[in-house]
A and B are shown apart, each in its own frame.
Chain A
Amino acid sequence: MKILDWRQVDLLERGLNISTQRNALIASNVANVDTPGYKSQDLAFTQVLDGETNRLALRRTDPRHLPAETGAGAGNEVVESTAPARADGNNVNIEDEMIKLSQNTMDYNISVQLLAKRLNSLKSVVTSPK
């Protein structure tokens, strides 16, 4: 592993950005839980992920090696939910939103922790040999 390889840090940073954007959309959905005609919004993840996995794929010396899983990319396409709407045209499900919220906060915390660990290991490389 190259210690000065910033791709991982970039990736984690983008993960944080995505979590923040997604969090804002969840906030918008929760605020509009009673607004007639409002449709629940979220980020389109899968399409973004497909594009990114090719670009950031781990190099394999043997095709029989297991492929590495990569994190989400920097996509920010907002999509409206097509879930069936209530009588007032609103399709926000508060339970779903709350689950998404805790999921998203967890994702964010994981990214922060990984980023902190990565930067800490870099720091220990720089400072340890006296």
Chain B
Amino acid sequence: MRYDAVFNVSGSGLKAQMLRMEVVSSNIANVNATRTPEGGPYRRREVVFETVPVQNGFENALLHSTAASLKGVEVSRVTEDASPFLRKYEPNHPDAGPDGYVLYPNVNIVAEMVNLQEASRAYEANLSVITSVKSMIAKTFEIGR
């Protein structure tokens, strides 16, 4: 029996959640960014998760008949949130429009914090799967003792 499938799957979960946290941190960091290289204020970004089949060799497919059902996860793309920007009346701001309103990013800091918590919990869940597999492997060595 091979264990590397579990490490691949849970490892992909760790990577995907970490990328999600990176995107969230980018949103939080740019909560007040009114200027971007593309012009206009920063747009909130979101990750899209997608399942990926685990990379298994021929040997693994033979030994491990459930291998075909195993799915890793990856961030297939990072999308931009199309919701409208926040408008604040700040006539003295250099980026204010002719009407005195400044467009601020469509980032809701509370929603981002919740997202961050969710990502970090999911990260921990993947980590505890890895920990338990490690303990199982360690336990296996007791068979011959």
A binds B: yes
Residues of A within 8 A of B (CB): 16-17, 19-21, 23-28, 30-36, 38, 41, 43, 76, 78, 94, 97-98, 101-102, 104-105, 108-109, 112-113, 115-116, 119
How distant is A37 from chain B, measured CB to nearest CB, in Å?
8
Bitwise interface map of B from 42 to 62 toward A, beta carbon under 8 Å scored 1, else 0: 000000111100100000000
* Residue ranges of B at the interface with A (Cβ–Cβ < 8 Å): 1, 3, 5-6, 9-10, 12-13, 16-17, 20, 48-51, 54, 64-67, 69-73, 118, 121-122, 125-126, 128-129, 132-133, 135-136, 139-140, 142-145
* Residue in chain B with minimal CB distance to A109: B139
Please provide the 4 A-B residue pairs with the shortest distance between their CB atoms, ordered closest to farther.
Answer: A31-B13, A78-B69, A35-B49, A27-B9
A28, B139: Cβ atoms closer than 8 Å: no
Which residues does chain A contribute within 8 Å of B71, judged by CB atoms? 28, 31-32, 35, 38
CB-defined contacts of A108 to chain B, threshold 8 Å: 136, 139
The interface residues of chain A, by DSSP majority, are classed as helix
Nearest CB on B from A39, distance (A): 10
Not counting A32-B71, A34-B122, A38-B51, a sample of 5 additional A-B residue pairs whose C-beta atoms are within 8 angstroms of each other reads A23-B136, A27-B9, A27-B10, A43-B66, A108-B139
Selected from B5, B12, B49, B132, the residue in CB contact (under 8 A) with A105 is B132
Out of B3, B9, B133, B142, which one reaches A31, CB within 8 Å? B9
Given the known A-B contacts A30-B125, A33-B125, are A21 and B64 also in contact in the complex, defined by CB atoms under 8 Å?
Answer: yes
Most buried by B among A28, A41, A101: A28
Beta-carbon nearest neighbor of B3 in chain A = A20
A92 to chain B, nearest CB (A): 10
Residue A35 contacts which of B1, B50, B66, B144 (CB distance < 8 angstroms)?
B50
- Give the residues in chain B near A105, CB-CB below 8 Å: 132, 135-136
Residues A113 and B142 in contact in the complex (CB < 8 Å), given A33-B125, A78-B69: yes
